[in-house]
Structure 1
Amino acid sequence: MQQTRSDSDTAMPSGRPRQRSEWLTFLFLTVILAPMIAVAVVGSYGFLIWIYQMIAGPPGPPAA
């Protein structure tokens, strides 16, 4: 017969410390990490366009 665990054995600790940790994680993700990732993505895209234009020339009609 297989031994089963009770709910109290497998339950995660809950209460104030966990709730505070979740809030701090949420604030870190929304206030610090998300803006940093957004700036990095936009900056990388701009850098790629700049490098491409150095190789292929500026956009517009060909020079006469």
Structure 2
Amino acid sequence: MSSPRQDGMRPSRRSELIAFLVLAFGVWPFIAVGVVGGFGFIVWMSQIVFGPPGPPAGLH
């Protein structure tokens, strides 16, 4: 059971559905793309600084 808000009003089922849809299809996809893109950028920059992955140079 949810506790009543300060103004005594509870959010309606319609407003909760709209909030869910906005989060599920509007906000979270952008956050997911940003996280994956940010991780890719970090990997790319680290390879520029430290070189590509592979065996050490002396083991050829």
Count of aligned pairs between the two proteins: 52
Query: Is 1:12 the counterpart of 2:9 in the alignment?
Result: yes
Question: Relative to structure 2, which stretch is displaced further, 21-30 or 41-50?
Answer: 21-30
Q: What is the TM-score of this pair, normalised by structure 1?
A: 0.69
Q: From 49, 52, 55, give the equivalent of 1:58.
A: 52
Matched with 1:5 is: none
Amino acid at match of 1:56: F
Structure 1: runs of 5 or more not aligned? 1-9
Query: Sequence identity, in percent?
Result: 48
CA deviations on 1:11-36 (whole Å, 9 max, x unpaired) are 2156xxx3322211110000111111
Structure 2: runs of 5 or more not aligned? 1-6
Q: What is the TM-score of this pair, normalised by structure 2?
A: 0.72
Bigger Rg over Cα = 1
